[in-house]
């Protein structure tokens, strides 16, 4: 494998070296975030909406045979003229027998809604709510299509409500940034829910949802833990590694995930002013966890691991040692580091019960529970 010439997260645009956590926070962090928003994911046209209401439509304290309390919440978001709105449904469970508030997970659901069935008629390892409850975690989810349907169309979702239904500019946000913004709105709600510990909310996503989870964690410093599962190209894996999916593949298949400026980097990864380890670095000093699968070559599992390794200097600046090794581990061995964790699951591209069990092990270890 050729040596990669990666951008240095600790070198400012004017060439000066970042030497303290304070300098990172005040000067460098915003430079990198701005580069990602300009060249990769696009820039949100709206922050926390002025017109946003939370409506608890269902509350059942005898869910899961009395072990949990279910809530279904509708987040209604209107544009300033109140001519259009979004409605985002959140499903959440908290354990009845654990002291409140509880740390929690939020899944960005990019699969069918059935995976987060509030009735629990259908139970899925994609969102194993019973397992989270048994270990004393709260768990919530929302569906990506409530924020921005996953198709190459800017006339619906958040773009319709806030952007007039078009790509306004070359840095207009794509679906990944929109889903990340949606995750922040779910967090806005959870911060009002006294059963959840608002200081300990993890954002989780698989594949395209894993890319969005990283963007959410990079943009919104209120997320305490960011978990990317098999996120691959334009997620955790390094763009400059010529392995698996490349920018040319992803923008051909999913142009709507990105801003238009990203299209210029097809087969020109070396000219991209950032690489994906810097997206992970934006999460520092908060917790970041990357999970890969051994047969998921399209996502370049080793490239996902190396992103953590190359983000580690930013963690070190904040007094966190990161991973205890820079050697890619064998399948089914978890690495619990300082602020960072990783595992390579034996198997194919998926989000499984094995992955969730490791996320909970890491979260428990970090919380010293």
Cα gap 154→269, rounded to integer Å: 26
User: Assign residue 342 a region: left if phi > 0, alpha if psi is -120 to 50, beta otherwise?
Assistant: beta
Cα gap 273→279, rounded to integer Å: 12
Shortest Cβ distance from residue 30 to ligand GTR (Å)?
Answer: 27
Shortest Cβ distance from residue 256 to ligand GTR (Å)?
Answer: 12
Do residues 275 and 240 lie in contact, with contact meaning Cβ atoms separated by under 8 Å?
yes
Shortest Cβ distance from residue 125 to ligand GTR (Å)?
Answer: 16
Does residue 28 sit in helix, strand or coil?
helix
Which residue, 189 or 258, has its beta carbon nearer to ligand GTR? 258
Which residue, 247 or 283, has its beta carbon nearer to ligand GTR? 247
Catalytic position from the list 92, 184, 207, 307: 207
Establish whether 143 is a catalytic residue: no
Do residues 94 and 69 lie in contact, with contact meaning Cβ atoms separated by under 8 Å?
yes
Per-residue burial over 329-340, b if 16 or more Cβ lie within 10 Å, else e, is eeeeebbbbbbb
Angle, helices 175-190 vs 208-219, to 10°: value is: 60
Which residue, 160 or 208, has its beta carbon nearer to ligand GTR? 208
Do residues 246 and 269 lie in contact, with contact meaning Cβ atoms separated by under 8 Å?
yes
Shortest Cβ distance from residue 336 to ligand GTR (Å)?
Answer: 26
Which residue, 58 or 348, has its beta carbon nearer to ligand GTR? 348
Shortest Cβ distance from residue 303 to ligand GTR (Å)?
Answer: 12
What the block records as the tokens of 201 is 């909310």
Residues binding ligand GTR (CB under 6 A): 207-208, 232-233, 245, 250
Cα gap 172→177, rounded to integer Å: 10
> Which backbone phi and psi does 173 adopt, to 5 degrees?
-65, 145
Which residue, 197 or 300, has its beta carbon nearer to ligand GTR? 300
Cα gap 16→31, rounded to integer Å: 13
Shortest Cβ distance from residue 232 to ligand GTR (Å)?
Answer: 5
Which residue, 135 or 208, has its beta carbon nearer to ligand GTR? 208
Q: How far is CA 327 from CA 305, 323, 324, 330, in A?
A: 9, 10, 9, 9
What the block records as the tokens of 143 is 């569906």
Cα gap 120→140, rounded to integer Å: 13
Establish whether 30 is a catalytic residue: no
Please give the positions annotated as active site: 207, 349
């Amino acid at each position: 494998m050729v040596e990669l010439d990666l951008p240095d997260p600790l070198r400012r645009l004017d060439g000066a070296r970042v030497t303290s956590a304070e300098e990172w926070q005040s000067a460098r962090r915003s430079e990198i975030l701005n580069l990602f928003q300009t060249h990769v994911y696009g820039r949100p046209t709206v922050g926390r909406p002025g017109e946003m209401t939370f409506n608890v439509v269902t509350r059942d304290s005898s869910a899961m045979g009395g072990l949990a309390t279910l809530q279904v919440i509708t987040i209604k978001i209107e544009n300033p003229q109140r001519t259009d709105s979004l409605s985002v449904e959140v499903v959440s469970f908290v354990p009845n027998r654990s002291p409140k508030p509880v740390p929690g997970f939020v899944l960005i659901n990019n699969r069918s809604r059935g995976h987060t069935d509030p009735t629990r008629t259908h139970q899925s390892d994609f969102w194993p709510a019973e397992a989270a409850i048994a270990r004393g975690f709260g768990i919530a989810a929302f569906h990506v299509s409530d924020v921005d349907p996953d198709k190459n169309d800017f006339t619906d979702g958040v773009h319709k409500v806030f952007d007039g239904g078009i790509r306004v500019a070359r840095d207009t946000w794509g679906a990944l940034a929109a889903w990340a913004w949606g995750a922040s709105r779910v967090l806005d709600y959870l911060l009002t829910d006294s059963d959840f510990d608002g200081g300990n909310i993890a954002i989780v996503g698989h594949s395209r949802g894993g890319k969005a989870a990283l963007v959410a964690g990079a943009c919104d410093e209120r997320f305490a833990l960011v978990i990317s599962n098999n996120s691959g190209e334009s997620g955790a894996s390094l763009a400059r590694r010529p392995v698996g999916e490349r920018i040319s593949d992803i923008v051909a298949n999913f142009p709507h995930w990105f801003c238009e400026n990203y299209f210029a980097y097809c087969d020109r990864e070396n000219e991209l002013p950032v690489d994906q380890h810097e997206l992970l670095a934006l999460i520092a000093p908060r917790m970041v966890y990357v999970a890969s699968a051994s047969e998921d070559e399209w996502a370049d599992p080793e490239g996902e691991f190396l992103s953590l390794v190359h983000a580690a200097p930013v963690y070190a600046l904040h007094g966190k040692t990161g991973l205890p090794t820079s050697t890619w581990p064998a399948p089914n061995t978890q690495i619990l580091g300082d602020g960072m964790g990783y595992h390579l699951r034996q198997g194919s591209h998926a989000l499984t019960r094995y992955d969730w069990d490791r996320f909970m092990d890491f979260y428990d270890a970090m919380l010293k529970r």
